[in-house]
Amino acid sequence: MSQSDFKQAPHKLLLIPGPVEVADDVLLANAHPSMSHVSPDFVPVLGDCIRMFRDVILAPESQPIITAGSGTLGWDHVASNVIEPGEEALVLNSGYFGDSFAECLEVYGSKVTQIKAPIGSKPSLEEVEAELKKKKYKVLTFTHVDTSTGVLTDAKALGDLVKRVSPETILVLDGVCSVASEEIRMDAWGIDVVLTASQKGIGCPPGLMLLAASKKAIKAYENRKTKPNSYFSSWSKWLPVMKAYESGTGAYFATPPTNLIYALHASLTTITKGKTSIEDRWAQHIAVSDQVKNFVKDLGLKQLVADPSKDGAHGMTAVRYPEGLKAPDVLPKMVARKIVVAAGLHKECKDEYFRIGTMSESVVNKERGDIDYLLKNLKEALEEAGYRK
Ligand SMILES: *Cc1c(COP(=O)(O)O)cnc(C)c1O
């Protein structure tokens, strides 16, 4: 079947903060015949993905690692390679995913200090600066977009702060809900690790972990006194494999999901070599996010983010139900209209709000009309549920 013939089956429109809608050519690429993962035909496909991933996060100096897994596995990579048991980690917590990253670091033996922000905001730069001056932190992690709240953290400002106050600290960006939907300039901003997954802004099916490490992060790994304390995520296994694929020879540690790598190749090709530049892609996510946020505001609804114009993510929006309405009043009505949005996630208030994901295909492929369809139906579903502004 040629690419232009393939059309995915009719389905409910998936507008959650990942997985997201996937383009036809990406799905078709996933239907590639079985391949040997070390064959000369496959090796450059993964090699290209490694090179293209650098272009998505503007990190020509970085070393990417792409393996089977999901975003969560990226935390294990950081916790078992970059930091050693007993060393200090500072976790900036702007919601659910900060709790999880902290828990993962502790599993591998890090000493974790958290700075927690109230729901809908993020730790201030002053708080972070004061903490960095108190003791030497090996690692500082932050959730670029916390998917439970929709809060966007200022990655560039944190990069500047670390350079100024604690230049040895490894700065780790959890970009699972931000890579390819938010501006990220890894090298220029001094970010040492960016970790993400295939199924959100990258617009591919779930099943891949993607990570990039700066020279400083690799040095921290090389200077370890102890061996990496995990097996599947050990950089002693993956770094030689990634270098081999990039140089065109291939090597084996654990089988890459070959079909998904073809799908990733298709989505990364669109992102890095398609008619929309990465800068335009970020701008389109901002424009759609503004459209959604203005629409819900005009409907009289509040957001979880206290100050959406300043702290709001651009690939998702967390919206509070109006007074008197709950999830069962609204979400099934959306499903009946063939739209899937996500329930709340933050443990303290998950029944009070829902989440709309606006990443990748639904944003950049305007012909689909996904966003207009969403907004029209959201208004009608709320009215059907009895809501009047
Ligand atoms: C989705 C998400 C994760 C977890 O990723 P999985 O692919 O579900 O393992 C981690 N961090 C953030 C910010 C996320 O949005």
Residues 336 and 252 in one domain: no
The response to whether residue 204 sits with its C-beta less than 6 Å from ligand 1 reads no
264, burial (CB in 10 Å: exposed 0-12, middle 13-18, buried 19+): buried
Ligand 1: centre distance to CA 98 (Å) = 10
pLDDT of residue 295: 98
Among 273, 308, 339, give the residue marking a domain's end.
273
Is the domain of 224 the same as that of 309? no
Q: Give strand pairing partners of 193.
A: 172, 213
33: left (phi over 0), alpha (psi -120 to 50) or beta: beta
Let me know if residue 80 belongs to a domain. yes
CATH number of the domain to which 365 belongs: 3.90.1150.10
Residue 377 lies in a domain: yes
For residue 63, what are the β-bridge partners? 213
pLDDT of amino acid 1: 60
Ligand 1: residue whose CA is nearest its atom 2: 176
User: Does ligand 1 have an atom closer than 6 angstroms to the CB of 72?
Assistant: yes
CATH code: domain of residue 95: 3.40.640.10
The pair of structure tokens assigned to 56 is: 């998505």
Centroid of ligand 1 to alpha carbon of 71 (angstroms): 5
Do 285 and 255 lie in one domain? The reply is: no
Beta pairing partners, 211: 65, 195
Both tokens of 138, joined, read 């090996």
- Does residue 336 form part of some domain? yes
- 5 occurs within a structural domain: no
The answer to whether residues 213 and 295 belong to one domain is no
Is the C-beta atom of 205 inside 6 A of ligand 1?
no
* Structural domain count, the chain: 2
Same domain flag for 252 and 315? no
Task: Mark whether 168 and 316 lie in a shared domain.
Answer: no
Q: What six digits make up the tokens of 336?
A: 């009946």
Alpha helices in 300-369 (DSSP H): 308-311, 327-336, 361-364
Helix, strand, or coil (residue 62): coil
Q: Which pLDDT value is given to residue 2?
A: 67
Task: Tell me the CA–centroid distance for residue 18 and ligand 1, in Å.
Answer: 8
Angle at 222 between CA 60 and CA 254, to 5 degrees: 75
Residue 355 counted as an annotated binding residue: yes
Q: Which of 250, 273, 296 is the last residue of a domain?
A: 273
Whole-number Å distance between alpha carbons of 19 and 296? 23
Look at residue 3 in the predicted model and tell me its pLDDT.
66
**Are 283 and 242 in the same domain?**
no
| 268 lies in the same domain as 361 | no
Residue type, 306: A
Count of residues for the chain?
A: 389
Cβ 325 vs Cβ 165: under 8 Å: no
Nearest CA to ligand 1 atom 15: 177
Distance 95 CA to ligand 1 centre (A): 12
CA distances from 387 to 31, 322, 331 (A): 44, 7, 14
One domain, residues 137 and 160: yes
Same domain, 142 and 269: yes
d(CA 206, CA 360): 14
Is 197 close to ligand 1, i.e. is its CB under 6 Å away?
A: yes
Ligand 1 neighbourhood includes 97 CB (under 6 angstroms):
yes
- Residue 3, in any domain of the structure: no
- For residue 147, is it within any domain? yes
The pLDDT assigned to 4 comes to 75
Q: To test ligand 1's pocket by mutation, which of 66, 70, 199 has the most ligand atoms within 8 angstroms of CB?
A: 70
Q: Residue 179 phi/psi, 5° resolution?
A: -65, 125
Omega of the bond leading into 19 within 30 degrees of 0 (cis):
yes
Tens digit of pLDDT at every position of the chain (389 positions): 666 789 999 999 999 999 999 999 999 999 999 999 999 999 999 999 999 999 999 999 999 999 999 999 999 999 999 999 999 999 999 999 999 999 999 999 999 999 999 999 999 999 999 999 999 999 999 999 999 999 999 999 999 999 999 999 999 999 999 999 999 999 999 999 999 999 999 999 999 999 999 999 999 999 999 999 999 999 999 999 999 999 999 899 999 999 999 999 999 999 999 999 999 999 999 999 999 999 999 999 999 998 999 999 999 999 999 999 999 999 999 999 999 999 999 999 999 999 999 999 999 999 999 999 999 999 999 999 999 88
CA dihedral 178, 366, 207, 212 (to 10 degrees): -40
User: Residues near 354 by Cβ (< 8 Å), separated by ≥ 6?
Assistant: 318, 319, 321, 327, 330, 331, 341, 342, 343, 344
Please give the pLDDT value at position 389: 83
The residue out of 273, 304, 325 marking a domain boundary is 273
The answer to the question of residue 2 being in a domain is no
Asked if residue 260 is part of any domain, the answer here is: yes
Domain co-membership, 53 together with 147? yes
CA distance 220 to 222: 6
Do 327 and 229 lie in one domain? The reply is: no
Structural domain range at position 348: 13-19+278-384
The finding on whether 123 has its CB within 6 A of some atom of ligand 1 is: no
**What residue's CA is closest to ligand 1, atom 5?**
71
Q: Beta strands 145-146 and 139-143: pairing type?
A: unpaired
Pocket of ligand 1 contains residue 18 by CB under 6 Å? yes
Does the beta carbon of 70 sit less than 6 angstroms from any atom of ligand 1?
yes
